[in-house]
A and B are shown apart, each in its own frame.
Chain A
């Protein structure tokens, strides 16, 4: 079955860029859409953005100016970059798969999450 694994630095300095990678096994990133979601400690989920099979992306309007997502089909990975981070970006970051090649139909496979602290 499809499995997702997030990886990247656990500690990022303020004003720098957070970079995370999601490695997909058991499936291809050339199929389905792929999302990033984050969750500050003790708080709710926040959708960050979605990577489409075309290579294009859409982002949460509140983060759009700082977010970039991309995919590497040769490595079957997709990535998240969040620039100019502050303490408010400290959270557990999850990658997830959209059930369909369409937005809003549910995220059916999730990575285990990776904690990123901005300090």
Chain B
């Protein structure tokens, strides 16, 4: 059982927006603005898409937007494109004993 809870799957049509939630606790997501999101295509290594809740690495499209409210972080992808179809994982810092905890992952299907 993953420390952070994500929906198993979400879907959307090209051009639409979707949001993936990532629910933790007051010990991880709720305590630190240290949530990151990763995109993983089949057979590939994860790619950092969002760090520190809402910051994008250089080269990541501004269609990807991160946010947080309380113990839940969210990743919103606007203007869905076929290439966005992938698995998405959230990760939160959880303090100096547990350190990094991942969500179980969400499979995004672009219809």
Contacts and interface: CB of A to CB of B under 8 A. Distances in A.
A46 B4 CA distance: 11
Interface stretch (B9-17, B76-84, B93-101): B93-101
Interface residues of A, number: 22
B45 A110 contact: yes
Interface in B7-47: 32, 34, 36, 38, 45-47
Q: Report the interface size class on chain B.
A: 20 to 34
A46 B102 contact: yes
A44 B89 contact: yes
B77 to A, nearest CB: 18
17 contacts: A44-B2, A44-B102, A44-B105, A45-B46, A45-B91, A47-B91, A50-B100, A61-B98, A94-B45, A104-B32, A104-B99, A104-B100, A105-B51, A107-B38, A108-B51, A111-B45, A112-B45
Given A47-B101, A103-B99, 18 more contacts: A35-B100, A44-B2, A44-B104, A45-B38, A45-B46, A45-B105, A47-B102, A50-B100, A58-B99, A104-B34, A105-B36, A106-B36, A106-B57, A106-B91, A107-B38, A108-B57, A110-B45, A110-B46
Interface of A: 35, 37, 44-47, 50, 58, 60-61, 94, 99, 103-108, 110-113
